[in-house]
Amino acid sequence: MLFLIFLSSGLFLGWSLGSNDAANIFGTAVGSRMVSFKRAAWIASIFVVIGAVFQGRGATETLSNLGSVDALAGAFTVALCAAITVFIMTRSGLPVSTSQAVVGAIVGWSAFTGNQTDYVVLTKIVTTWITGPVLGMIFAALLFLLLRRILRRMQIHVIKLDSIIRIGLITAGAFGAYSLGANNIANVMGVFVASAPNIELNFGLFVLDGVQILFLIGGIAISVGIFTYSHKVMQTVGRGILALTPEAALVVVLTQALVLFLFSSASFSSFLIWLGLPPLPLVPVSSTQVVVGAVLGIGLVKGVNEIKGKTLGGIAVGWIATPLVAGIFTYLGLFFVQNVFGLVVTAKTIAGQMEEVPTEPMASGIYNINLIMPGLLILAFMIIILLVFLFFRQQKLRLKTENELLVHQNEFFNSQKALNELEINAIQMENTMLSNKLELKRQELNTLLMNISEQRAFLENITNQISELIGSQDIKMRDARLKELSVLLKQKMSFSKEIEEFYGQIEQVHKDFQIKLSVRFPDLTENEKRLATLLRLNFSSKEIATFLNISPKSVEIARYRLRKKLELKAGENLTQFLINL
Amino acid sequence: MFSFQQANKSIELIDTFLNSIDEGALIFKEGVKNYLFGNRESFVDNLKTLSALETEADITRRKIENILYTQSLMPQLRGDIMRLLEVLDNIIDMAKKSLFQFDVEVPHIPAELNQDLVKLTEVSAAAIDSVIPAARDYFRNPEKVKEKIHRVYLYEKEADKLADAIKRKVFQEMTNLKLSEKFHLRYFTLHIENLSDAAQEAADMLSIMAIKRTI
């Protein structure tokens, strides 16, 4: 339990490494939205853990050689101070390297405890701070030239290229994550190696020893960092320093993966020795600095510098400031831990040491825990959970689709309903119009009927009077009565009532015309307006004469007067003028 | 994500789209010639074909847009690509509208202008013809774009000169024409000339996009 509490500072360091360095691997891909963050986080986490557990030992040994932090409290302080340094430097916007912080912290520990710092190892490590970025630069330039040549030769369509690069970014990202785990786990867990528990976990396919378990825990801390905090960093990095074309981004990620891999692969070192070349030291290098080197390399090939002087200056400051700050912090931290809490920070005997903190029980034997059955059980359990999850997701999707279908149907019904209502309204309007028309016709019929009966009564009256006159002998009286009858008939012939009705109807139908006429020619008399209306209906003078019960000559005169009032010129047609009005 | 199916489909659609624009330029050229030489039936045929091509180009462009955005292909480039396709689509739109204006307004074109207008149409269509290969190269070989688009600029300049000459001729030498007829001729010259300007706009876009893509 105590071990876990002391380990917490290492886990904190792992967390900050995950949140910062994962951005170098998937920053461009996520920042440019080519790969979703979730997918990137999963791939990075899995491969970081694999790299850490299976290839983390090489770089860790070098770090242990620098200064073997042999007490748990010392390791705790070293990791904590390194983590705090990383945290503060990141906050102040400097590109920080966890490796430099850890190295600085270890040197600080050595200085405090009086342990001898191995200067050969220190030189080796410091050299890699320069060789790392330089190697990155060379690799990136070469890879970039190669990629450019291939792309120019193959002439791949930009859309297809996009898909290929996406796959490339994910693959290189996975490789990068593996290398990051292998190389940088030393930073996170290196100082705790001396206090690793003596346990072996047997998973059937592979066996994890104490150090590897430590690395597994560190790897998980890095993963947590990736999941919880790296999204924001990826967005910043993807749009800042790594705002490159996808092709260049692929080269950068691949370069970083390669360099980190080379600095952590023991087999590559032995291969170099076999070739008679000096081996690369297995040292944790800063992924950020390799990336900067790679971007510089690409810039050299393209003939443009994509890294600003300010960035380079920041890196230079980081190179010096990070180890220095970490060293000073550690020195102060150890002083505090030793003198305030009275904890042992080194196995070496120091004067004034107060209390011995028990490190893990260093038993002679190694506890071998068989995890084959539990592993299988966990696997089976996970498969069941996955199946249940898939089943429920399927159900949810089905329900969602059904719901969407229903919503669509509902919308369809609603629009149909609205359409039906419109149709009903139209039919109702038509019905109203028809019933109005019917009413009008009925009235017309009534009028006609009344007219007929009136005419009949009038004619009967005339017939009776004529019958009376036929028998009469008094010629004088007969003449007078006949005259009366003639006047009566003439009066009737003027059809004044019918003509009034006719005009009434015409005025109703040509209301617009009447209004226009009155507005434009306010001087027109009622009779002239009637004449104009009849002319507009294209009646001849003769017909108009009959309607108006005047002679055709009078119609001609009226027409002439109307022309004058309408101010028509000699050539203009009166009827056409009235129609066009 | 690992399937090339959608990528291949959108590549095919982009090719179809560019073909439509290319054919559109040819049909437009034929249409104007047929109008000028009084082949009414062929002109109406050209108009129908161009109209169909324009609709097809619109549909294809929307399909491409849909695939690029729903499959989140090329998040960095798709905005540029969609804008390029819009500008190219605008060319065929303009060509169709122009031909429709011939059909609706039936401009009176004096016979002595026929040759000049044919030449202007050919130069404008050549500007469009030259921008299409440049667009195709953008997708596969962006370094070649620059070589191709200088032709577009050349044809555009030629079209400007020809259009100027026609307008000068109409307003200064053809005194027998009514002012309304002169205006009408000016507008139709402008419509044809505008096509080369639209091609130039696409070329401008392509040159910037190609720089962005050059690695």
Instruction: Render pLDDT for A537-559 as a digit per residue (tens, 0 to 9).
Output: 888 888 888 777 788 889 999 99
Residue A252 lies in domain: 2-370
pLDDT score at B155: 96
Separation CA B79–CA B85 (nearest Å): 10
What confidence score (pLDDT) does residue B193 get?
94
State the helix-helix crossing angle for A526-536 and A496-509, rounded to 10 degrees: 70
Do residues A103 and A69 lie in contact, with contact meaning Cβ atoms separated by under 8 Å?
no
How much is the mean pLDDT over chain A?
82
Element (H, E) at A369: strand A367-370
Q: Measured between alpha carbons, how far is B200 from B158 in angstroms, rounded to an integer?
A: 12
Nearest chain B alpha carbon to A33: B75
Tell me the three state secondary structure of residue A370.
strand
pLDDT above 60 (res A353): no
Out of A39, A144, A157, closest to residue B139 by CB = A157
Comparing CA positions, the residue from A98, A103, A94 lying closest to residue A127 is A103
Residues of chain A neighbouring B143 (CB-CB closer than 8 A): 152
Give per-residue pLDDT as tens, A27-48: 877 877 778 889 889 999 999 9
- Inside any domain, residue A267: yes
pLDDT at A380 over 80: yes
Cβ distance B73 to A159 less than 8 Å, yes or no, reads: yes
| A159–B139 CB contact, under 8 Å | yes
Percent of chain A with pLDDT over 90: 17
* Domain end call among A347, A370, A393: A370
pLDDT at A361 over 70: no
Q: What integer pLDDT is reported at residue A356 of this predicted model? A: 41
Question: B148 to chain A, minimum CA–CA distance in Å?
Answer: 16
Question: How does pLDDT run across B154-187, given as a tens digit for each residue?
Answer: 999 999 999 999 999 999 999 888 999 999 999 9
Using the 3D structure, point to which of A370, A398, A429 is the last residue of a domain: A370
List all residues 6 or more positions away from A50 whose beta carbon is below 8 Å from its beta carbon: A178, A181, A219
Region B8-37: what's the mean pLDDT?
Answer: 94
- Report long-range pairs for A165-171 (Cβ below 8 Å, ≥24 apart): A165/A34, A165/A246, A165/A247, A165/A250, A166/A29, A166/A34, A166/A35, A166/B1, A167/B2, A168/A250, A168/A254, A169/A26, A169/A28, A169/A29, A169/A34, A169/A35, A169/A246, A169/A249, A169/A250, A169/A253, A170/A29, A170/A35, A170/A39, A170/A43
CB-based contact A33 B140, cutoff 8 Å: no
Identify the residue with better confidence: A470 or B91. Answer: B91
Give all strands of the β-sheet with A367-370 in edge-to-edge order: A207-208, A199-202, A367-370
Quick one: closest CA in B to A165, which residue?
A: B74
Q: Which of A3-17, A260-274, A321-335 has the highest mean pLDDT?
A: A321-335
**Which chain A positions have a beta carbon within 8 Å of B77's beta carbon?**
158, 162
| Single-letter code of the amino acid located at B167 | K
Measure the CA–CA gap between B6 and B68, rounded to whole angstroms: 9
Token pair, residue A450, equals: 């009344």
Rounded to whole angstroms, the Cα distance separating B145 from B133 reads: 8
CA distances from A574 to A40, A518, A541, B179 (A): 89, 17, 12, 34
Say yes or no to pLDDT of A488 above 50.
yes
- Name the band, by pLDDT with cuts 50, 70 and 90, for residue B36: very high
Let me know if residue A446 belongs to a domain. Answer: no
Using CA atoms, how far apart are residues A26 and A449, in angstroms rounded to an integer? 98
pLDDT at A269 over 50: yes
| Both structure tokens of A537 | 């209906």
Phi and psi torsions of A201, nearest 5° = -105, 125
A350 pLDDT higher than 60 = no
- Other CB atoms within a 10 A radius of the CB of residue A485 amount to 15
Q: Does some domain include residue A462?
A: no
- pLDDT at residue A526, rounded to an integer: 84
Amino acid at A19: S
The DSSP bridge pattern shows strands A367-370 and A199-202 to be parallel
Compute the average pLDDT of residues B78-102.
94
* Cβ pair A34:B75 closer than 8 A: yes
Is the CB of residue A246 less than 8 Å from the CB of residue A163? no
Q: What integer pLDDT is reported at residue A497 of this predicted model?
A: 67
Report yes or no for ipTM above 0.95.
no
Q: Which two tokens stand for residue A530?
A: 């009637």
Q: What SS3 class is residue B30?
A: helix
Q: E strand or H helix at B104, and its extent?
A: helix B78-105
- Closest-CA residue in chain A for B72? A34
Domain boundary at A370, A397, A415, which?
Answer: A370
Tell me the CATH number at A535.
1.10.10.10
Range in A352-356, A573-577, B160-164 with the lowest mean pLDDT: A352-356
CA-closest candidate to residue A217, choices A437, A358, A53: A53
Closest Cβ–Cβ partner in B8, B75, B138 for A32: B75
| Interface residue ranges in chain B relative to chain A, Cβ cutoff 8 Å | 1-2, 4, 7-8, 10-11, 14, 72-77, 81, 138-141, 143, 212-213, 215
Judge whether A283 and A59 are in contact, CB under 8 Å: yes
> From CA B117, how far away is CA A243, in angstroms rounded?
49
DSSP code of residue A96: -
Instruction: Tell me how far apart the alpha carbons of residues A487 and A150 are, in angstroms, rounded to a whole number.
Output: 119
Q: Examine residue A24 and state whether it is found in any structural domain, yes or no.
A: yes
Per CB-CB distance under 8 Å, the chain A contacts of B64 are none
pLDDT band of A366, cuts 50, 70, 90: low
Is A159's CB within 8 Å of B7's CB? yes
> Which tokens go with B177?
């024409």
The answer to whether the CB atoms of B7 and A162 lie below 8 A apart is yes
Q: A159–B143: do the CB atoms touch at under 8 Å? A: no
Q: Are the beta carbons of B78 and B109 closer than 8 angstroms?
A: no
Q: Is A391 part of a structural domain of the chain?
A: no
Q: What is the pLDDT of residue A358?
A: 43
Q: What is the pLDDT, as a whole number, of residue B117? A: 95
Instruction: Count interface pairs A-B at CB distance under 8 A.
Output: 55
Average pLDDT on A157-177 reads 89
For B152, residues 6+ apart whose C-beta sits below 8 A from its C-beta are B127, B130, B131, B134, B199, B200, B202, B203
Q: What is the DSSP letter of A279?
A: P
pLDDT of amino acid A213: 84
Total number of domains constituting chain A: 2
B75 vs A contacts (CB less than 8 Å): 32-34
Q: Could you tell me which residue, A91 or A426, shows the higher pLDDT?
A: A426
Residue A360 has pLDDT above 60, yes or no: no
CA distance A196 to B162: 86
Predicted pLDDT at A80 = 87
Cβ–Cβ gap A151/B215 under 8 Å: yes
In chain A, whose CA is at the least distance from the CA of B144?
A152
Among B10, B11, B141, the residue with its CB nearest the CB of A155 is B141
Express each pLDDT in A442-464 by its tens digit. Answer: 888 888 888 888 888 988 988 99
Query: Domain residues for B22?
Result: 5-213
φ, ψ dihedrals at A367, nearest 5°: -75, 120
Contacts of residue B134, Cβ cutoff 8 Å, sequence gap at least 6 = B145, B148, B149, B152, B203, B206
CA–CA distance, A574 with B158 (Å, rounded to integer): 59
Q: Which residue has the higher pLDDT, A530 or A352?
A: A530
Q: How many domains does chain B have?
A: 1
**CATH number where B79 lies:** 1.20.58.220
CB contact under 8 A, B7 and A33: no
| CB-CB neighbors (< 8 A) of B141 in chain A | 152, 155
Three-state secondary structure readout of A305-359: CCCCHHHHHHHHHHHHHHHHHHHHHHHHHHHHHHHHHCCCCCCCCCCCCCCCCCC
- Other CB atoms within 10 Å distance of the CB of residue B18: 20
What's the pLDDT band for A496 if we cut at 50, 70, 90?
low
Higher pLDDT, A278 or A243: A278
Q: Is residue A437 scored above 70 in pLDDT? A: yes
Residue range B126-149: average pLDDT? 92
CA distance B91 to chain A (A): 23
**B-interface mutation test, from A144, A159, A247, most B Cβ less than 10 A away:** A159
**Predicted pLDDT of residue A303:** 75
